[in-house]
A and B are shown apart, each in its own frame.
Chain A
Amino acid sequence: MTVLLEARDLTVRYGGHTALEGVDLQLSPGEIVTVVGPNGSGKSTLLRALIGAVPLAQGRIQPSPDLRIGYVPQKLQVDPTLPLTVDRFLQLPHRVPAAERSRALEEAGVPHLAGRQLVSLSGGQLQRVLLARALRGRPNLLLLDEATQGLDQPGSAAFYRQLEEVRDRSGCAVVMVSHELHVVMSASDRVLCLNGHICCQGEPEAVSSAPEYRALFGSGTGGALALYRHQHDHHHEDGMPHLAHGHGPGRGDREDGGRHDPPPPEPVPAKATVEEETSPFPGESGR
Chain B
Amino acid sequence: MLDDFLVRAALAGVGVALASGVLGCFVVWRRMAYFGDATAQAAILGVALSLAFSLSIFAGALLVSVLMGLLVSSLSGRHYSMDTLLGVLAHAALAFGLVAVSFLPGIRIDLEGYLFGDILSVGRQDLLVIWLGSALVVGLVLFRWSALLTATLSEDLAHASGIQPRREQLVLTFALAVVVAVAIKVVGVLLITAMLIIPAAAARPFSRTPEGMAGLAAVLGVVASLGGLRVAYVLDTPAGPTMVAVAALLFALATAAGRLLRARG
Contacts and interface: CB of A to CB of B under 8 A. Distances in A.
A83 B149 contact: no
Interface residues of A, number: 25
Contacts of A93: 146-147, 149-150, 158, 161, 163
A268 interface: no
A69 B160 CA distance: 8
Interface string A36-64: 00000000000010011100000000000
B161 A81 contact: no
A79 B30 CA distance: 8
A92 B146 contact: yes
Contact of A51 (B147, B160, B200): B160
Nearest to A133: B157
A273 to B, nearest CB: 30
Interface in A234-256: none
A107 B39 CA distance: 46
B209 interface: yes
A47 B213 CA distance: 34
Contacts of B28: 79, 81
A53 B210 contact: no
A85 interface: yes
Contact of B156 (A53, A85, A94): A53
A104 B98 CA distance: 57
Contact of A82 (B29, B157, B159, B160): B29
Contacts of A81: 28-29, 200-201, 204
Contact of A53 (B153, B160, B204): B160
A76 interface: yes
B207 interface: yes
Contacts of A69: 160
Interface in A71-86: 71, 73, 76-79, 81-85
A84 B155 contact: no
Interface string A166-184: 0000000000000000000
A156 interface: no
A83 B204 contact: yes
A84 B210 contact: yes
B208 interface: yes
Contacts of B167: none
A83 B212 contact: yes
Nearest to A88: B209
A94 B209 contact: no
A48 B212 contact: no
A52 B150 contact: no
A187 B251 CA distance: 53
Interface of A: 48, 51-53, 69, 71, 73, 76-79, 81-85, 88-89, 92-94, 117, 133, 143, 145
Given A48-B159, A53-B155, 6 more contacts: A81-B28, A83-B210, A83-B213, A93-B146, A93-B158, A133-B157
30 contacts: A48-B159, A52-B159, A52-B160, A53-B155, A53-B156, A71-B156, A71-B160, A73-B154, A73-B157, A76-B154, A76-B157, A77-B154, A78-B153, A81-B28, A81-B201, A83-B209, A83-B212, A83-B213, A84-B153, A85-B208, A85-B209, A88-B209, A88-B210, A92-B149, A92-B150, A92-B157, A93-B150, A93-B163, A94-B146, A133-B157
